[in-house]
């Protein structure tokens, strides 16, 4: 297995080098300052000596005077350093534990039942609570293999370090295999590190869990808003803020798109209408004032500009707008990145897919959502806040590094950069994150507008005639302030969901009125060539997972591993055999997004269903897909 920090929804971007390479800002101890002063002085003396060799005879006297002056400065700096060392603050050290074998690691893992593992305290330092992960047997094997290979990798690195230190060794033994985790931490460790953050109430992971940036993908982490030490962390949301999925239904049937010519025309029309790929610019033009309104008003802007139907608003999570948004907290650079990307799909695992209803598990829920006929044509859109959201997260991480040192927050992993919720940095991030979430809802709304136009062109009917109504739009990368009951007490929590979908139970006030009797729909995207699902929330899920469920399949191979292992031509042949039309901007994505690169989405969904945190309603099968 090859590990990576996919963040599931941020494939458009590389993690900024300054974030990966910087260390947590720390004040130097006086001991270090003295050492630096000595080293700098030695360098200065070398420079003077070098100049002396090139000076004239008249300059030698002056050079010698300089040497004496510099020696005095050196002595004074060392004395000052010794004097201040008594009152200095020591450099914060990130906690660490001795390297353990895989057998020692799994001693901390407890199998609670057929679908749940508990990660007990002590697995990593400073855990305030245990962590829990939902997996069935096949997914359990993948999760534990990730941990095992990480242990092997760490052991090999330690062996190599020892060999490097032994200068007398002539022949260095080669490790049995190359390190595979690229320096990233396995998901179980990442969960446990989150469970050590200040103010944590519970830490969970969904069955599609895999390693990510700071938090693992599939993580749900709730922090107590009444705890003054509780934090908010960009890593608990992801770089693609409000990456999410929406589903549009139609009254078309599979018979309407069964012939290859029609299917290819439709696929090409979607590809022509929707800008795809990394760095693409949209066909929908906006100015600075439009952008500010988008950031604060969300879908209301799209409705006003006729890019969305009025009824679309009701069927968006949060009604397509987070009221905590403040466009003034979004940086100029972030706005520049977002100005020309409204109505664009992006790259990576983002897609627009034409699907047909393949199976119905809950007739009541299917009828309520209007997707109750086998073979009914639907469209699924998966994308987020593009470059704007990525920049919002990047900006926050840089500011929070400094805030952590100021407030004495020392996480187990520096990728868990965070700030106290009620701090200036914490509040500013929540407001900027909310604005980026609003941008994402408008982005998906504008893509919906383009999808409707493409269908009108191919079928020569209006979108209204084809009943192209929005079934639902739900995000899976966001943090929200919610009320939940914990140990019999109602608490106000900041719930981070990264690669996990909110799925509230029936009769919850925050879901659309038409869906009150069935629960909140959760749209679960599959992989390119595999099925997707509609789930609905349950009462048990509200208790067990803060009303959360999975978001997709979850990667099993990194993108690099996929490119090395798979042949894009064979993947294309596989799709053709299944009568799936495809348009892709970059050929490498064909292998990166192949079904073999992911876990089995049906196993993931079945685990959520069997564990009772959500309920299967509808299964959808792809017939055409466009990707960046």
DSSP letter for each residue of 371-419: --STTEEEEEEEE--HHHHHHHHHHHHHHHHHHHHHHT---SSTT---E
Residue 207 has φ and ψ, to the nearest 5°, of -65, -20
* Total Cβ atoms within 10 A of residue 606: 18
Q: What is the pLDDT of residues 257-299, one digit of tens each?
A: 999 999 999 999 999 999 998 777 889 999 999 999 999 999 9
What per-residue confidence (pLDDT) applies to 556? 75
List of residues 6+ apart from 449 with CB closer than 8 A: 284, 302, 307, 308, 343
Token pair recorded at residue 581? 């039309």
User: Annotated catalytic, 551?
Assistant: yes
Integer angstrom CA distances of residue 451 from 247, 273, 339, 393: 11, 7, 21, 29
Whether the predicted pLDDT of 7 surpasses 70: no
CA atoms within 13 A on the CB side of 125: 11
Q: Are residues 198 and 409 in contact, defined by beta-carbon separation less than 8 angstroms?
A: yes
What per-residue confidence (pLDDT) applies to 107? 96
Cα–Cα distance, 386 to 13 (Å, whole number)? 9
Token pair recorded at residue 304? 């006003």
DSSP H/E element including 267: helix 260-273
Whether the predicted pLDDT of 44 surpasses 60: no
DSSP H/E element including 21: helix 17-21
Average pLDDT over residues 504-518: 98
* Total Cβ atoms within 10 A of residue 306: 8
List of residues 6+ apart from 117 with CB closer than 8 A: 109, 110, 111, 132, 133, 135, 140, 143
Query: Vertex 197, ends 194 and 203: CA angle to 5°?
Result: 40
Whether the predicted pLDDT of 79 surpasses 70: no
Q: DSSP 3-state assignment of 66?
A: helix
Whether the predicted pLDDT of 351 surpasses 50: yes
Q: Are residues 41 and 188 in contact, defined by beta-carbon separation less than 8 angstroms?
A: no
- Higher model confidence: residue 561 or residue 157? 561
Whether the predicted pLDDT of 89 surpasses 80: no
Token pair recorded at residue 511? 């879901």
* Residue in the block written with tokens 């309603």: 617
What per-residue confidence (pLDDT) applies to 572? 85
Q: What is the pLDDT of residues 184-210, one digit of tens each?
A: 699 999 999 999 999 999 999 999 999
- Higher model confidence: residue 181 or residue 491? 491
Average pLDDT over residues 367-384: 98
Which residues are annotated binding-site positions for Mn(2+)?
240, 243, 350, 382, 476
Longest dimension (CA), the chain: 99
- Higher model confidence: residue 570 or residue 408? 408
Closest CA to 428 of 334, 501, 499, 510: 334
Q: What is the mean pLDDT of the chain?
A: 84
Q: DSSP 3-state assignment of 337?
A: helix
Query: Vertex 436, ends 432 and 442: CA angle to 5°?
Result: 145
Average pLDDT over residues 116-144: 95
Whether the predicted pLDDT of 21 surpasses 70: no
What per-residue confidence (pLDDT) applies to 94? 52
What per-residue confidence (pLDDT) applies to 484? 98
What per-residue confidence (pLDDT) applies to 166? 52
What per-residue confidence (pLDDT) applies to 568? 81
Cα–Cα distance, 312 to 298 (Å, whole number)? 12
Cα–Cα distance, 401 to 16 (Å, whole number)? 14
Which residues are annotated binding-site positions for GMP?
349-353, 476-477, 525-528, 532, 551-554, 627
Ramachandran region of residue 356, left (φ > 0), alpha (ψ -120 to 50) or beta?
Answer: beta
What per-residue confidence (pLDDT) applies to 103? 93
List of residues 6+ apart from 202 with CB closer than 8 A: 129, 132, 220, 221, 222, 486, 546
pLDDT-derived band at 165 (thresholds 50, 70, 90) equals low
Which residues are annotated binding-site positions?
240, 243, 349-353, 382, 476-477, 525-528, 532, 551-554, 627
Residue 378 has what DSSP assignment? E
Q: What is the pLDDT of residues 426-458, one digit of tens each?
A: 999 999 999 999 999 999 999 999 999 999 999
What per-residue confidence (pLDDT) applies to 172? 43
What per-residue confidence (pLDDT) applies to 77? 44
Q: Are residues 91 and 129 in contact, defined by beta-carbon separation less than 8 angstroms?
A: no
Q: Are residues 189 and 149 in contact, defined by beta-carbon separation less than 8 angstroms?
A: no
Ramachandran region of residue 453, left (φ > 0), alpha (ψ -120 to 50) or beta?
Answer: alpha
- Higher model confidence: residue 529 or residue 104? 104
Which entry of 390, 496, 551, 609 is annotated as an active-site residue?
Answer: 551
What per-residue confidence (pLDDT) applies to 454? 98
Cα–Cα distance, 483 to 478 (Å, whole number)? 16
Whether the predicted pLDDT of 464 surpasses 50: yes
What per-residue confidence (pLDDT) applies to 23? 36
Residue 471 has φ and ψ, to the nearest 5°, of -75, -50
What per-residue confidence (pLDDT) applies to 96? 52
What per-residue confidence (pLDDT) applies to 541? 98
Least confident of 139-143, 323-327, 399-403, 522-526: 139-143
What per-residue confidence (pLDDT) applies to 149? 86
């Amino acid at each position: 297995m090859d590990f990576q920090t996919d963040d599931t929804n941020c494939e458009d971007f590389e993690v900024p080098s300054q974030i990966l390479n910087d260390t947590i800002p720390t004040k130097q101890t006086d001991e270090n300052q003295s050492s630096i002063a000595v080293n700098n002085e030695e360098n200065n003396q070398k420079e003077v000596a070098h100049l002396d060799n090139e000076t004239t005879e008249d300059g030698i006297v002056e050079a010698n005077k300089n040497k004496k002056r510099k020696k005095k400065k050196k002595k004074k700096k060392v004395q000052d350093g010794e004097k201040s060392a008594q009152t200095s603050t020591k450099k914060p050290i990130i906690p660490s534990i001795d390297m353990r074998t895989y057998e020692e690691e799994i001693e901390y893992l407890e199998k609670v039942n057929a679908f749940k593992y508990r990660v007990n305290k002590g697995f990593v330092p400073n855990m305030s609570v245990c962590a829990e992960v939902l997996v069935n047997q096949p997914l359990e094997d993948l999760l534990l293999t990730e941990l095992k290979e990480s242990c092997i990798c760490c052991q090999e690195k330690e062996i190599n370090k020892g060999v490097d230190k032994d200068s007398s060794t002539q022949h260095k033994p080669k490790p049995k295999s190359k390190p595979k985790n690229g320096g990233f931490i396995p998901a179980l460790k990442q969960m446990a590190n989150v469970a050590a953050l200040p103010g944590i109430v519970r830490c969970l992971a969904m069955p599609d869990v895999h390693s990510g940036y700071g938090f693992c993908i599939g993580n749900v982490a709730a922090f107590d808003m009444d705890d003054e030490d509780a934090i908010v962390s960009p890593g608990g949301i992801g770089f693609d803020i409000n990456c999410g999925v929406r589903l549009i239904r139609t009254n078309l049937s599979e018979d309407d798109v069964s012939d290859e010519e029609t299917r290819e025309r439709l696929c090409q029309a979607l590809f022509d209408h929707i800008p795809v790929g990394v760095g693409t610019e949209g066909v929908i033009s906006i100015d600075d004032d439009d952008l500010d309104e988008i950031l604060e008003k969300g879908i209301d802007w799209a409705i006003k500009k006729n890019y969305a139907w009025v009824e679309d608003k009701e069927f968006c999570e949060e009604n397509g707008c987070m009221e905590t948004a403040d466009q003034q907290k979004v940086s100029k650079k972030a706005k520049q990145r977002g100005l020309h990307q409204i109505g664009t799909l992006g790259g990576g695992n983002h897609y627009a897919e034409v699907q047909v209803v393949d199976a119905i598990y809950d007739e009541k829920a299917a009828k309520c959502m209007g997707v109750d006929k086998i073979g009914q044509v639907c469209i699924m859109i998966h994308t987020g806040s593009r470059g704007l959201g990525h920049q919002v997260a990047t900006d926050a991480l840089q500011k929070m590094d400094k805030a952590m040192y100021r407030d004495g927050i020392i996480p187990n992993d520096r990728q868990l950069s965070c700030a106290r919720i009620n701090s200036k940095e914490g509040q500013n991030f929540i407001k900027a994150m909310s604005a980026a979430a609003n941008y994402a809802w408008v982005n998906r709304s504008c893509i919906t507008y383009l999808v409707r136009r493409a269908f009108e062109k191919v079928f020569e009917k209006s979108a209204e005639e084809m009943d192209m109504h929005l079934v639902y739009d739900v995000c899976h990368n966001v943090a929200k302030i919610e009320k939940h009951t914990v140990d019999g007490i109602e608490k106000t929590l900041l719930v981070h969901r990264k690669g996990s979908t909110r799925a509230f139970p029936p009769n919850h006030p925050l879901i659309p009125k038409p869906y009150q009797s069935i629960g909140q729909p959760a749209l679960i995207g599959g992989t390119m060539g595999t099925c997707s699902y509609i789930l609905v929330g349950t009462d048990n899920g509200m208790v067990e997972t803060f009303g959360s469920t999975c978001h997709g399949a979850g990667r099993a191979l990194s993108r690099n591993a996929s490119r090395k292992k798979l042949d894009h031509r064979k993947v294309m042949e596989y799709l053709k055999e299944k009568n799936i039309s495809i348009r892709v901007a970059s050929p490498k994505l064909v292998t990166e997004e192949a079904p073999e690169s992911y876990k089995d989405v049906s196993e993931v969904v079945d685990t959520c269903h069997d564990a009772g945190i959500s309920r299967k309603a509808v299964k959808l099968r792809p017939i055409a897909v466009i990707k960046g």
